[in-house]
Structure 1
Amino acid sequence: MKTIKTTIAILALAIFSISCSKDDEATPAVVIPEQNPLAGYLTASGFDQALTNHINSVDYEFGYSFTPLVNGTMTAIVAKIPDIHIGMRVTIWDKVAGTVLRTESIDMIAAGVEVTKAINALTLVKDKEYFITFNSNDWYDHRKTDNSAVTYPFTIEDIKITGYSYATGTAQAIPNTPQTTYYAGDVSFKFQK
């Protein structure tokens, strides 16, 4: 009788252990993909219809403003230009305040090759407007074939593109001349919600 009780106790403990270990197994982490809004912006605006290269032209600080539709982080800078430019300056701005949040330098080591630079995560707040710009005398001019203007904003996944602007020169100055008939770039970012 003692053997039967011991056997039942051992079996009960074994069953309990198995059921607990199944409950304790970790649920696989859900990996949320990073978003890069540039390609979607070019398509939605029609600025993917015509492309012209500008090499060793006038220096500009240019880029687009955007608003995240959810809280998240900027995890990388992505750029592509039609020439080599070591140490190209990329700036992330608080658009409303006109202040610099982050300055990054990215090495464009080959013409026409997209470069991604991981950065220390920059927190982006839902519904706050930001600007991402770069300073260069080399860029791609993206337009519609009929050169018509577009109406902002464009929503690309969790990012709303609110406009494009430029400023002439090499100074780190927030662009103040908006344009609606083209986008000059390419500079963008990766966003993780």
Structure 2
Amino acid sequence: MKTIKTTIAILAIAILAISCSKDDEPTPVVVIPEQNPLAGYLTASGFDQKLTNRVDSGDYEFGYSFTPLVNGTMTAIVAKIPDTHIGMRVTIWDKIAGTVLRTETIDVATAGVEVTKVITALSLIKDKEYFITFNSNDWYDHRKTDGTAVTYPFTVGDIKVTGYSFASGTAQAIPNSPQTTYYAGDVSFKFQK
């Protein structure tokens, strides 16, 4: 009797082991990290060599244009400026059409501290050119130490940065004065493919 019980127990364990296969295991979820192209852009351009704080230095709409190299979504905006600015306007544009795709505000409550605001995902299409701009009278002025111009584009991960430009004033107007000797910021975004 003891042998029969032992045999049945061994058979039950064997059947259970055979019936549990890898197909029953959940497929691991692959999380693709978000990308923020700003640091890579500053490094690739050399604009990370010299930094000057500009506070209360006139109102401008400024930012950089970019093209995603893959389809993806903008999931957040990121800002860091050398002064506080509650309700700072950030605009995402269709660069070619010159139209606003999204307007967000972000609260920079502490000078010099990076702030991230998660936004409703904005689909970005591969090879389409966009602009991200902000309107402020405070910014970081990034330049090369020798003051020379750069040649665009700069590819950073899945984003190609195609230029930097500004427009004077507080109006929500697409920047129309391209510059190649500096970048004024810092406002960027997080991208997930």
Which bracket does the TM-score occupy, shorter chain normalised? over 0.9
Q: Take 1:15 and 1:53, find their aligned partners in 2: how far apart are those partners?
A: 66
* Consecutive unaligned residues in structure 2, runs of 5 or more: none
Q: Take 1:84 and 1:12, find their aligned partners in 2: how far apart are those partners?
A: 67
Partner residue in 2 for 1:92: 92
**2:20 alignment partner AA:** I
Shift of 1:133: 0.1
Q: Take 1:64 and 1:93, find their aligned partners in 2: how far apart are those partners?
A: 10
Secondary structure of 2:180's match? coil
Partner residue in 2 for 1:186: 186
Partner residue in 1 for 2:164: 164
Partner residue in 2 for 1:18: 20
Alignment root-mean-square deviation, CA: 1.7
Q: Given the alignment of the two structures, is residue 136 of structure 1 paired with residue 136 of structure 2, yes or no? A: yes
Partner residue in 1 for 2:119: 119
Shift of 1:11: 6.9
Q: Take 2:139 and 2:91, find their aligned partners in 1: how far apart are those partners?
A: 16
1:119-168 per-position Cα deviation (integer Å, ceiling 9, x unaligned): 00000000000000000000000000111000000000000000000000
**1:167 alignment partner AA:** A
Secondary structure of 2:20's match? helix
Q: Take 1:105 and 1:15, find their aligned partners in 2: how far apart are those partners?
A: 57
**1:14 alignment partner AA:** L
Shift of 1:27: 2.1
TM-score under structure 1 normalisation? 0.92
Q: Take 2:56 and 2:16, find their aligned partners in 1: how far apart are those partners?
A: 75
**Runs ≥4 in structure 1, deviation > 6 angstroms?**
none
Secondary structure of 1:14's match? helix
TM-score under structure 2 normalisation? 0.92
Q: Take 2:14 and 2:49, find their aligned partners in 1: how far apart are those partners?
A: 70
Secondary structure of 1:47's match? coil
